[in-house]
Copies of this chain bind each other. A is one copy, B any other.
Amino acid sequence: GYSQLPRSVHGLDGAPEWPAIRAMLPELKGKRVVDLGCGFGWFARWASGQGAAQVLALDLSEQMIARAKASTQAANIDYQIADLEQLSLPAGAFDFAYSSLAFHYIEDFGKLAATIHQSLAPGAQFVFTIEHPVYMAPSQPGWTASADGRRIWPLDGYSIEGPRRTDWLAKGVLKYHRTIGTTLNVLIHAGFNVRHVQEWAPTADQVAANPGLAEELDRPMMLLVAAQR
């Protein structure tokens, strides 16, 4: 399950997209940070270590929050159980919002984007990652082979937004497929300026160190977005 994933065991360095995310982050020193879907708290602790003034770290899972608290010494991280679908946050309370691989579980992203926008100070940045819609869309989301034996990603249903169920980690996990266009338009409609969009792919160095990552060049698995209030 989740706790055995490399990114759960090794933290940020277990996530191959972390160097790309880090390059998109603003300076965090002195910033008030909110982490939406904090899991075991790896990013919250990293932000605290970077000199963030305070970090509000939210997750739906009681067990994750308990483990995050047990793994944390920093006094300026406030872990709270929260449902992002029903979130409310104080106005102008944060200088940076972050979320890793959580928003594709959210049905009403428009409501959440508006909540985040009003919680940020003017000019504040917002960086998040989600599962890439090309990865999530297919009715059978797994590698297959073409007639001539090439590895292909069997895309279908890309423009049909809405629920997708998979048996990853747990049976019948419910995710919500949205096109890249929809995700960006929701941000723009909420008042954000889109600053950077990256369909994550491994670097040549990463593929050399871990040849299994080569398949990520064939279809994008994650979408990284930086926006600004």
- Residues of A bordering B, CB below 8 Å: 134, 138-140, 144, 146-148, 150-160, 179-181, 184-185, 188, 193-199, 201, 216-220, 223
| Docked complex Cα distance between A140 and B179 (Å) | 23
On whether the beta carbons of B184 and A219 are closer than 8 Å, the reply is no
On whether the beta carbons of B155 and A219 are closer than 8 Å, the reply is yes
On whether the beta carbons of A140 and B134 are closer than 8 Å, the reply is no
Complex partner residue of A199 from B147, B159, B198, CB under 8 angstroms: B159
Complex copy number for this chain = 2
Q: A139-B150, A219-B156, A220-B158 are in contact. Are A181 and B195 (CB under 8 A)?
A: no
On whether the beta carbons of B154 and A154 are closer than 8 Å, the reply is yes
| Docked complex Cα distance between A151 and B197 (Å) | 29
On whether the beta carbons of A188 and B179 are closer than 8 Å, the reply is no
| Docked complex Cα distance between A159 and B207 (Å) | 13
21 sample A-B contacts, Cβ–Cβ < 8 Å, listed by A number: A138-B152, A140-B148, A140-B150, A144-B152, A152-B152, A153-B154, A153-B155, A154-B154, A154-B155, A156-B219, A157-B217, A158-B199, A158-B217, A158-B219, A158-B220, A159-B199, A159-B201, A159-B216, A179-B199, A181-B223, A193-B193
On whether the beta carbons of B159 and A217 are closer than 8 Å, the reply is yes
Q: Which residues of B contact A199 (CB under 8 A)?
A: 158-159, 179-181
Q: Which residues of B contact A154 (CB under 8 A)?
A: 146, 150, 152-155
On whether the beta carbons of A181 and B198 are closer than 8 Å, the reply is yes
| Docked complex Cα distance between A147 and B147 (Å) | 10
| Docked complex Cα distance between A90 and B163 (Å) | 49
Q: Which residues of B contact A195 (CB under 8 A)?
A: 188
On whether the beta carbons of B220 and A159 are closer than 8 Å, the reply is yes
Q: A147-B144, A155-B153 are in contact. Are A188 and B196 (CB under 8 A)?
A: yes
Complex partner residue of A155 from B152, B159, B179, CB under 8 angstroms: B152
Q: Which residues of B contact A184 (CB under 8 A)?
A: 184, 194, 197
| Docked complex Cα distance between A188 and B192 (Å) | 14
Q: A180-B180, A188-B196, A199-B181 are in contact. Are A158 and B144 (CB under 8 A)?
A: no
